[in-house]
Structure 1
Amino acid sequence: MTQENKCAEADSQRGMVLPFQPLTMSFRNISYYVDVPWELKQQGLSVNKLQLLVNVTGAFRPGLLTALVGISGAGKTTLMDVLAGRKTGGHISGQIYVSGYLKNQETFARISGYCEQNDVHSPCLTVYEALMFSAWLRLPSDINAATKRDFVEEVMELVELNPLKGALVGLPGIDGLSTEQRKRLTIAVELVANPSIVFMDEPTSGLDARAAAIVMRTVRNIVNTGRTIVCTIHQPSIDIFESFDELLLMKRGGKLIYAGPLGTGSHKLIQYFEIRPGYNPAAWILDVTSATEENRLGVDFAEIYRESYLYLQNQELAENLSKPDRNSKFLSFPTKYSQTFFGQFLACLWKQNLSYWRNPQYTAVRFFYTVIISLMFGTMCWKFGDKRETQQDIFNAMGSMYAAVLFIGITNAASVQPVVYVERSVSYRERAVGMYSALPFAFAQVAIEFPYVYVQSLVFFKLFWYIYFMYFTLLYFTFFGMMTIAVTPNHNIAAIVAAPFYMLWNLFSGFMIARMRLPIWWRWYYWANPVSWSLYGLLTSQYGDVNEPLKLADGLHSVPLRQFLKDELGYWFFLGL
């Protein structure tokens, strides 16, 4: 690193609202194994484990921008995921050190950032709100709100997002930010956590030359603050390639074939891989190190690298960086998350509130169907409750309640699924970087529905009635829709999974077949069915204490209405006594 760069780094760090500790990362003999897929076993592969990384050794240092380069299948993203702690399956061997200390993943999540290739954000937040949400949950709790706001403002200036401060993020390819702006937002969301090490998975993927140049300028700004930045890059242009300081080049099979500096104009790399005049070094190294070229030349570049002086230098560097400085201390935090459980819940609730308020389509659909269905049933079943002379009158009233419960309930369950699906995708990223645990997020999603469903119930009550039971009925249908999204890959599958339950709830509601007429071995599902409890409560609350005579279907006999509900439908009227 030149003296100029060092001065720029020092100036950058002195101007930072929140200081950070520059950290190195070194790794030695990293290997990664996964179980062989069934398809490969069918093709005759006899081994049980597939090795995706083979004894990879290297180091990343502060103030240097490092590129992980290789053709598809070389293992560059796999290596970065292993180092970042994103791989939860398979078997990892080797050692990973952070400033000389063995990496602890819970601690590492608090001092690192990870920019995914797909820019997933809550569409109904503004750029500033998205950054404040990340800062709220990831910066230490002892930092006051004013300092967090100042730091967010500083990060926005660093990544050139100030002109977009109040812009809604929107959905990719539909509205809101452009692809390049979303990429810079992804970087900024990680940067407001004040990390010392940042991983970026193909930050220029899908961008044109101008947009890629803007993103790389942003990345260089971050590097100049003294942070350790690592990027995977696939087929970079010459301008992007020469933005990097160091290169780790991998070949298919997860083997390292170059690890070292690029040099000005890539001259260090060119000294190692002789290049034809006029070629782009980035494209040249990918072409010349391909399996086809290796076979044609009769060489193994991984073996050549292992026998080179550069390999010995990197081994020595990794070994030196695997020992802590005398004055350093092991980084640790008292808790896994920077905020308490309640703090996480409040932050998630704040975001959910903004998302719901700025999504009028979702609310409008529910309220529109509520008004239409309540008007339809209110007029169709006009004064059904006043008629209770015959058995058919009771079944008519029961049928109106049954239909109202199912119609509005299923609408709620279906309409909430796409909304929850979008937020679930965002939550995967946010939980992976240690913003919050699953429970605060789930509680916030549930809590935000209470006021909306309450107002929906008021509308239904005005045009129909029984607000208490309908409120909780609409809630459990809405929560059921949320649950189906939580246990399925997407909202289309969730709709398919939910459909049989609607049929079963319908069948065992107690309207089509009364509980007393169900075979004894099926009655357990009646009690487990939430719709049956809604119908039980609604009918009993209206007729359970009425002792007026009710003419039965045969037209000859009469029984007290209360007794009919008990004997025919199994509905008991009681007040908990």
Structure 2
Amino acid sequence: MMPPQQEIDIAGRIPAINRSENVSVHAEPTECPLGDSSTNHEIHMPEKLQMVPCPSSILSKALHPITLEFEDVAYKINLPTHAHFMEPKTDRAILSGVTGIVRPGEIMAMLGPSGSGKTTLLTALAGRLPGKISGGITYNGQPFSSSIKRKTGFVTQDDVLYPHLTVLETLTYAAMLRLPKTLTRQEKLNQAESVLVELGLTRCRNSIIGGPLLRGVSGGERKRVSIGQEMLVNPSLLLLDEPTSGLDSTTAQRIIGTLRGLAQGERTVVTTIHQPSSRLYRMFDKVVVLSEGCPIYVGNAYRVLDYFGSIGFVADAAVNPADFLLDLANGVAPDTKQGDQQEFHADDQNSMKQSLISSYKKNLYSGLKVEIHQNFQDPNSYLTRRPSSHSSEKEWSTSWWDQFNVLLKRGLKERRHESYSGLRIFQVMAVSILSGLLWWHSNPSHIQDQVGLLFFFSIFWGFFPLFNAIFTFPQERSILIKERSSGMYCLSSYFFARMVGDLPMELVLPTLFTAVTYWMGGLKPSPSNFIFTLLVILYNVLVSQGLGLALGAILMDVKKATTLASVTMLTFLLAGGYYIQHVPPFIGWMKYISFSYYCYKLLLGVQYTEIDYYECAPGGVTCKVLDFPPIKQLGLDNKAYDVVALTLMLVGYRLLAYVALRMGQPR
């Protein structure tokens, strides 16, 4: 059985720490659990939590404490049916009638076997669960809002981080984006440094995060970086999904100890945890135990063994309470021997689960409802202490321009390995030199060859940027969803920062390509002709890139977007005016939606004029360039019309990409 309450408080609770009410980045050193102000990460912890000096300000009090209440929360999903189409759709209940309350200063842990609905419930409490949720979830008696979102930290089970940024860079950029503009840049840097020290990340501060194909910091260190990003904003409500998964016992102890310290700062902490040790379990104030989406216990952690003992399930004195609860949630009785489990049939397990659910409804449910309703009437409750009107959500947001600058710098650092990769430069320059050799000093009288080179310009710099841009948004989808859900920045600042950040390499490579191939290919050796040719190619690159961004944003699937892009570019290639001059009228309209058509036409207009001649027959017979069939079909006039058409595509494709992102992302 669990020790008496007084003993639990000694082992599992941190004494109250006297802190000032105001949040300050330059907070005085205080004491925090398992803090790490040096590079020595060895922690010897007996039954008590160690208290060590901590320079961090993340343990200061929350600005606006939040009491989280949830009543009869239920959630269903529609299961796809593969039978006859007339068969009605079936629903599966993920959550059913979950009720509870957690106040500032408390840690609530959600326990249960895999698939019991822990993550779904946590996501619902964070306001990030799609679909319709029945029941009520309130924050200080109010529904979820943008203001609540900015006061909430949410740490997902999967660490969604940029792999090529270092630990310090990751926390610094998050601080620049999430901390209020009332703080100076140095104060934000100090906050990032404090979090880094507090979480024991000093040794790996300059190590890259890494990913599946890139070696970086360890899994535990990545988890701490994810938690640190949420700690930066001094959240009033902190929700964490499996924060100790994949961590060793010492690191897990440090993480939960830090959460304990955060809760002592009048924060509300809710976490899912799969199988905590007895030491970790003693740090929790409240637990929610789920079995197939239904609660079998909700209440104080130290009373759980007494409760189950009162309904006939007595735990062994030496058992870990968490293991005992998981056995019950799986329908395994505590007195079932290991060798007898094979004879414990599924019907018996289901019967036991239903018995536990019924006992919860009979013994605990009504008391939880009374506790929630009494909390509304308590004059000392946080529900009655609303934040003042001057503390609006704008207080915690940076300006659009600051968001743009930070996102631009972060994007350039993250993608520098990709933009300036030797393989990509080699790819472009190899094609440039090869095409220059194939068209080596082509004779102006061989107009067919020169026209072919100009068409190659329009096609190559349509394909290459298009297929590079397709990967942009699908690759960053998870990070974009996470950061937008946290209210870190507005979508427009991210979108424009990404557009500007891609320009250097998108424009440098075609410039080098054109500079090499143009002069090797024997085109008009005039600086003005070269400059205008380069400008047309660069404009075509931007239009093509915009189409790739739009396809990627709409489909958010690289394979589907690549397939559609291949069909689109093949259509543009055939309708570009080079291979077929006499297109049937019923399909001739396709050339007007092809940017390759307008680019090719502009390149011809830059290279030739109506008074140019070429040798059309042996013996020095010359003909007007305008009479050459491919050029005659397209014409050399209406350049302004072609520029306007490309401009509309340039703006239209990017606008389409933005709208697709807006519709697919949280606001």
Using the TM superposition, give the Cα deviation of residue 11 of structure 1 relative to its aligned residue in structure 2, in angstroms: 7.9
Instruction: Confirm or deny: 8 A CA contact 2:605 2:639 kept in the other structure.
Output: no
Q: In structure 2, how many angstroms separate the alpha carbons of the residues matched to 1:269 and 1:298? A: 16
Show the counterpart of 2:357: 302
Q: Deviations along 1:408-458, whole A, 9 cap, x unmatched?
A: 543333345556543333112111111123322222111112222222133
Instruction: Confirm or deny: 8 A CA contact 2:98 2:294 kept in the other structure.
Output: yes
Q: In structure 2, how many angstroms separate the alpha carbons of the residues matched to 1:80 and 1:330? A: 28
Show the counterpart of 1:284: 324
Instruction: Confirm or deny: 8 A CA contact 1:66 1:246 kept in the other structure.
Output: yes
406-415 or 140-149, which deviates more: 406-415
Using the TM superposition, give the Cα deviation of residue 398 of structure 1 relative to its aligned residue in structure 2, in angstroms: 1.8
Q: In structure 2, how many angstroms separate the alpha carbons of the residues matched to 1:361 and 1:440? A: 21
Show the counterpart of 2:271: 231
Using the TM superposition, give the Cα deviation of residue 231 of structure 1 relative to its aligned residue in structure 2, in angstroms: 0.8
242-251 or 46-55, which deviates more: 46-55
Matched, 1:367 2:422: no
**What is the SS of the residue equivalent to 2:415?**
helix
**What is the SS of the residue equivalent to 2:114?**
coil
Using the TM superposition, give the Cα deviation of residue 463 of structure 1 relative to its aligned residue in structure 2, in angstroms: 0.6
Instruction: Confirm or deny: 8 A CA contact 1:36 1:50 kept in the other structure.
Output: yes
**What is the SS of the residue equivalent to 2:587?**
helix
Show the counterpart of 2:240: 200
Using the TM superposition, give the Cα deviation of residue 521 of structure 1 relative to its aligned residue in structure 2, in angstroms: 2.6
Q: Deviations along 1:239-260, whole A, 9 cap, x unmatched?
A: 43333221011111x2221111
1:464 to 517, 524, 542: 517
Using the TM superposition, give the Cα deviation of residue 207 of structure 1 relative to its aligned residue in structure 2, in angstroms: 3.5
The 3 A distance-change label for structure 1 pair 42 and 83 is farther
Q: Deviations along 1:219-239, whole A, 9 cap, x unmatched?
A: 334334432111112233434
Is there any run of 5+ residues in structure 2 with no aligned partner, and where? Answer: 1-7, 29-56, 332-345, 519-532, 642-667
Using the TM superposition, give the Cα deviation of residue 271 of structure 1 relative to its aligned residue in structure 2, in angstroms: 4.5
Q: In structure 1, how many angstroms separate the alpha carbons of the residues matched to 2:87 and 2:630? A: 67
Matched, 1:379 2:437: yes
Show the counterpart of 2:541: 474
Show the counterpart of 1:573: 637
Show the counterpart of 2:572: 505
TM-score by length of 1: 0.87
Q: Would you say how many aligned residue pairs link Structure 1 and Structure 2?
A: 563
Show the counterpart of 2:371: 317
Instruction: Confirm or deny: 8 A CA contact 1:369 1:408 kept in the other structure.
Output: no
Matches within 5 A, 1:122-271: 122-172=162-212, 174-252=214-292, 254-263=293-302, 271=309
Instruction: Confirm or deny: 8 A CA contact 2:608 2:625 kept in the other structure.
Output: yes
**What is the SS of the residue equivalent to 1:240?**
helix
The 3 A distance-change label for structure 1 pair 195 and 173 is farther
Show the counterpart of 1:348: 407
Instruction: Confirm or deny: 8 A CA contact 2:70 2:98 kept in the other structure.
Output: yes
Show the counterpart of 1:424: 477
Q: In structure 2, how many angstroms separate the alpha carbons of the residues matched to 1:223 and 1:562? A: 79
Residue type of the alignment partner of 1:31:
V
The 3 A distance-change label for structure 1 pair 33 and 177 is same
Show the counterpart of 1:484: 551
**What is the SS of the residue equivalent to 1:259?**
strand
The 3 A distance-change label for structure 1 pair 171 and 47 is closer
Using the TM superposition, give the Cα deviation of residue 39 of structure 1 relative to its aligned residue in structure 2, in angstroms: 2.2
Using the TM superposition, give the Cα deviation of residue 175 of structure 1 relative to its aligned residue in structure 2, in angstroms: 1.1
Q: In structure 1, how many angstroms separate the alpha carbons of the residues matched to 2:89 and 2:560? A: 35
Q: Deviations along 1:302-343, whole A, 9 cap, x unmatched?
A: 2211211x4343223222334555554467625497133333
Q: In structure 2, how many angstroms separate the alpha carbons of the residues matched to 1:453 and 1:28? A: 50
1:561 to 597, 602, 625: 625
**What is the SS of the residue equivalent to 1:300?**
helix
Q: Deviations along 1:154-175, whole A, 9 cap, x unmatched?
A: 2222222232222221224631
Q: Deviations along 1:268-289, whole A, 9 cap, x unmatched?
A: 5665552134433222222223
Residue type of the alignment partner of 1:289:
A
Query: Pairwise CA RMSD of aligned residues?
Result: 3.3
Show the counterpart of 1:523: 588
Is there any run of 5+ residues in structure 1 with no aligned partner, and where? Answer: none
Using the TM superposition, give the Cα deviation of residue 559 of structure 1 relative to its aligned residue in structure 2, in angstroms: 4.6
The 3 A distance-change label for structure 1 pair 262 and 476 is same
Residue type of the alignment partner of 2:397:
S
Show the counterpart of 1:400: 453
Q: In structure 1, how many angstroms separate the alpha carbons of the residues matched to 2:111 and 2:202? A: 32
The 3 A distance-change label for structure 1 pair 9 and 197 is farther
Instruction: Confirm or deny: 8 A CA contact 1:262 1:268 kept in the other structure.
Output: no
TM-score by length of 2: 0.76
Show the counterpart of 1:59: 101
Instruction: Confirm or deny: 8 A CA contact 1:27 1:94 kept in the other structure.
Output: no
The 3 A distance-change label for structure 1 pair 9 and 511 is farther
Residue type of the alignment partner of 1:26:
L
Matched, 1:537 2:602: yes
**What is the SS of the residue equivalent to 2:208?**
coil
Show the counterpart of 2:489: 436
Show the counterpart of 1:94: 135
Q: In structure 1, how many angstroms separate the alpha carbons of the residues matched to 2:167 and 2:106? A: 28
The 3 A distance-change label for structure 1 pair 47 and 305 is farther
Residue type of the alignment partner of 1:303:
S
The 3 A distance-change label for structure 1 pair 95 and 9 is farther
Residue type of the alignment partner of 1:146:
Q
Instruction: Confirm or deny: 8 A CA contact 1:22 1:228 kept in the other structure.
Output: no
2:72 to 30, 34, 38: 30
Instruction: Confirm or deny: 8 A CA contact 1:262 1:269 kept in the other structure.
Output: no
The 3 A distance-change label for structure 1 pair 458 and 28 is closer
Q: In structure 1, how many angstroms separate the alpha carbons of the residues matched to 2:547 and 2:201? A: 39
Instruction: Confirm or deny: 8 A CA contact 1:460 1:467 kept in the other structure.
Output: no
Instruction: Confirm or deny: 8 A CA contact 2:106 2:286 kept in the other structure.
Output: yes
Residue type of the alignment partner of 2:108:
T
The 3 A distance-change label for structure 1 pair 289 and 170 is closer
Q: In structure 2, how many angstroms separate the alpha carbons of the residues matched to 1:363 and 1:511? A: 34
The 3 A distance-change label for structure 1 pair 531 and 363 is farther
2:124 to 71, 82, 97: 82
Q: In structure 2, how many angstroms separate the alpha carbons of the residues matched to 1:40 and 1:32? A: 26
Using the TM superposition, give the Cα deviation of residue 299 of structure 1 relative to its aligned residue in structure 2, in angstroms: 5.1
Using the TM superposition, give the Cα deviation of residue 51 of structure 1 relative to its aligned residue in structure 2, in angstroms: 3.5
